[in-house]
Structure 1
């Protein structure tokens, strides 16, 4: 079953139901399909064929979704990348993907033209971007009668996402129609979605979370409201005006919405289902979600670009912060961690003991390997299991808790300390807005537990936080931060993951004075 066919099935079920909203534009399923068919014919007329990679460097726009379905119709590979990348990074991705065409808009115009000065694929501009005479608008005028429908199997690649590349060059993750169908099906089941759900397109379509929102919504004849330029107030307004029923967001965005000063002015009573992924959520924020949104369904989804679902937890009221149990298509276990990549699936640790989380690649959602990177593939997939690089603990009830990355683990005085455990305590302080904990080099201890804090109140002191850690938690003394640094913001990736490497490298703006404690 290929994705284009599944979309066309949805079109025939409810052709007049609203499918896509972008500002003042509203497209029904029939209209969206008509646009996609014309664009597919246009792309095919340019010589773009089955298996060709089309790189898109755009915001979350209506045109991006139309391109997605057009690419699926011709059996090509939708390859979106972050529009914030530098020209060098864009050049790398275009060349690595061996792109047949590149689609761009004004925001990415400069980097695309710089990146393609030497090796020039077909360039297609959207919304008046300069640098080529070939435009999206022209392609939409193509006569669909010349379109040749290819035969597409579910094992063919339909999508390639690039990992964030926080520790080096991004890696291409090819995903088949079967992978994407499986991930969409799991997402629908795990978030308890029903027909005609409505959601927001705020998670970027170059990220696995954006893809899940797109596919699950379309397959259920739902409504997807695109938000090209994220803003908390605008998002709250759209949630209320469009009566959005479900969201799937990173904790950073949920944090922004919950803490917006005008939150109470918006009627979010239609919002019944909240899912989050991409980064951990503190128990403080989980409690705030229950209090202020009151969702019927609240799901922590833990997964990756490579596999999508690892585990889900939909009982956060009982176990806030838990990643729960393996997903609908998945099996997982925790093994002895080894940063050198020598652990085996048989090295299973006991309940309560931290280790590396691994997942079974028999899953319909699991990729087969990285694009053009056999060494990375061999390290990541071993004996039929995907080694996530994440540290986790399984409790006595079989529930998983993610405690950080294998390479984020702090070793201080020979003791292993997981940043999330410390962050969860500090985040409960009423004057703390955000916190990130890392290990900084220390002559005696090897690494020194250091907390980087964004304060709500400039009266907050390191001594006050240290006393809070002592009196308000069971945090062992050796896990308490030895240093607090007050900064203006926590550096994050575009999808909200804390970039600890930037904190370690000193890439932040301090606020006031930081304190070394005698503890």
Structure 2
């Protein structure tokens, strides 16, 4: 399997069916085939050869999809850039990956001169937007004027992309994923379900530079779906797009789900076409999950657990398991292509029910970190990817993620897992969003500190919250301080940045 394979099939079997719909523009499989082959021809004209890296700084658009496929068609490696990074971080990834050609979307054309100065290895920059043509970049029309070339059919363990992860702490790492790894994970996501949507439309709203969004896009292509990219998340736009396109599939991170189900227009759009709602990237509270199932009444829910290094998923919680109040707190069971274990610091498997580190092995494990052999050797040992997540496994193989190992709070000698506390706090009627962290405390070593966003018009005191949480969890796990915020620092993948919360935590009340 390889990334361009679904396009070949669509062009052969359903050539006049839309392959992408972006805004008012609909592009058929036949038209996409032609565009992709010309992008590849243009890359060849620009001197791109086998294994060269092609960068892509773009929002979710139809051209994002076309450029990724065009890069693979040209036997090159795609490097999607985190659109929320600073110029310095972007330039670092471009330089480290030796990117030869960079595609730049409209919102980022103002960065071209700085990027050229800080990433001198760039041979060419291409403008892939519809806005004013920058002088420092080649126009999109020039690419489409190139002669088409044949697909290189790059496949197997040949590198498909370098997906940079991190950047919020330390130096970003380029995760190397081959065509086999990405397609294995995408196909496995479909295999694990008892009912799989086919055809129709798939909404692509999670950032496609991130493997969660990228993987969902590939899965949609494999299921003969028309991709409907949305350049940015907006609750109303997502609901309207599902209704207008009759969409069958969407991937949302929990923060997106919460913003949709709590929006005043949640009941005003016809969402009945949606057959599959995939979620992941961060834990979801039971309270939000319950509200989501009330809004997306026709959708089957699928939780995917993993990380970029796992292409990106290694376990799934299928829809049927969501009906069990115990199982829906889990991250599901190992995917058909994966092996999952819980190990101690010596990499020995621990007994069922014992907390340790979650590790995974299989064809979805990354090829390594780009130019970082020591970090690769530390992360992947004897074929097992060490996730850095703490968790346990029950007797039936369900994995329960209790915390990032580095996020575990040790208060008064007791281990407190922030996810468990967050689930309890989230059930309070006044709470819209919550993150729990450990902050230094002279008496307890660390104390449990809750950072909370309230629903409009609500109030909450520490005393009220503690009394409420004592009904759900042990007293030593209950928050000992409370901080109420209007907004949370978020990563591009929709994760709350706890590192920033720790840096700014003022002790609360």
**Fold match (TM-score > 0.5):** yes
TM-score tier, shorter chain, comes to over 0.9
Q: What secondary structure sits across from 2:156 in the alignment?
A: coil
Structure 1 unaligned regions, length at least 5 = 337-342
Deviation at 1:120, TM superposition (A): 4.7
Q: Check the 8 A contact 1:309/1:329 in 2, yes or no.
A: no
Q: What secondary structure sits across from 2:358 in the alignment?
A: strand
Deviation at 1:153, TM superposition (A): 4.3
Query: What residue number does 1:251 align with?
Result: 254
Query: What residue number does 2:70 align with?
Result: 70
Q: What secondary structure sits across from 1:496 in the alignment?
A: coil
Higher mean Cα deviation, 224-233 or 148-157? Answer: 148-157
Please point out which of 176, 198, 201 is paired with 1:198: 201
Map Cα deviations across residues 195-218 of structure 1 (whole Å, 9 max, x no partner): 304211111111111212221222
Q: Check the 8 A contact 1:309/1:330 in 2, yes or no.
A: no
Deviation at 1:165, TM superposition (A): 2.7
Deviation at 1:382, TM superposition (A): 1.0
Please point out which of 486, 495, 498 is paired with 2:496: 498
Q: Check the 8 A contact 1:286/1:320 in 2, yes or no.
A: no
Map Cα deviations across residues 300-354 of structure 1 (whole Å, 9 max, x no partner): 1101111122211111111222111111101111112xxxxxx233x22222221
Query: What residue number does 1:320 align with?
Result: 328
Query: What residue number does 2:16 align with?
Result: 16
Alpha-carbon distance in structure 2 between the residues aligned to 1:126 and 1:104: 6
Structure 2 unaligned regions, length at least 5 = none
Q: Check the 8 A contact 1:356/1:389 in 2, yes or no.
A: yes
Report the RMSD for the aligned CA atoms in angstroms.
1.7
Structure 1 residues 514 and 141, CA gap change in structure 2 (3 angstroms): same
Alpha-carbon distance in structure 1 between the residues aligned to 2:62 and 2:171: 29
Q: Does 1:278 align with 2:277?
A: no
Aligned length: 498
Q: Check the 8 A contact 1:86/1:111 in 2, yes or no.
A: no
Query: What residue number does 1:130 align with?
Result: 134
Q: Check the 8 A contact 1:196/1:223 in 2, yes or no.
A: yes
Please point out which of 153, 156, 162 is paired with 1:154: 156
Deviation at 1:93, TM superposition (A): 0.5
Q: What secondary structure sits across from 1:116 in the alignment?
A: helix
Structure 1 residues 373 and 294, CA gap change in structure 2 (3 angstroms): same
Query: What residue number does 1:340 align with?
Result: none
Q: Does 1:354 align with 2:355?
A: yes
Alpha-carbon distance in structure 1 between the residues aligned to 2:36 and 2:95: 26
Q: Check the 8 A contact 2:201/2:247 in 1, yes or no.
A: yes
Alpha-carbon distance in structure 1 between the residues aligned to 2:105 and 2:162: 20
Please point out which of 174, 181, 191 is paired with 1:189: 191
Query: What residue number does 1:405 align with?
Result: 404
Alpha-carbon distance in structure 2 between the residues aligned to 1:48 and 1:148: 15
Alpha-carbon distance in structure 2 between the residues aligned to 1:45 and 1:399: 51
Q: What secondary structure sits across from 2:233 in the alignment?
A: coil
Alpha-carbon distance in structure 2 between the residues aligned to 1:251 and 1:380: 27
Query: What residue number does 2:175 align with?
Result: 173
Query: What residue number does 1:422 align with?
Result: 421
Query: What residue number does 1:333 align with?
Result: 341
Q: Does 1:29 align with 2:29?
A: yes
Q: Check the 8 A contact 1:113/1:131 in 2, yes or no.
A: no
Q: Check the 8 A contact 1:462/1:514 in 2, yes or no.
A: no
TM-score for the superposition, normalised by structure 1: 0.92
Map Cα deviations across residues 155-179 of structure 1 (whole Å, 9 max, x no partner): 2111111113332111101111111
TM-score for the superposition, normalised by structure 2: 0.94
Q: What secondary structure sits across from 1:505 in the alignment?
A: helix
Structure 1 residues 28 and 450, CA gap change in structure 2 (3 angstroms): same
Query: What residue number does 1:375 align with?
Result: 374
Deviation at 1:104, TM superposition (A): 0.6
Alpha-carbon distance in structure 2 between the residues aligned to 1:126 and 1:180: 25
Q: Does 1:235 align with 2:234?
A: no
Structure 1 residues 48 and 441, CA gap change in structure 2 (3 angstroms): same
Deviation at 1:463, TM superposition (A): 1.2
Deviation at 1:105, TM superposition (A): 2.0
Q: Check the 8 A contact 2:197/2:248 in 1, yes or no.
A: no
Structure 1 residues 344 and 386, CA gap change in structure 2 (3 angstroms): farther
Structure 1 residues 246 and 116, CA gap change in structure 2 (3 angstroms): same
Alpha-carbon distance in structure 1 between the residues aligned to 2:334 and 2:137: 50
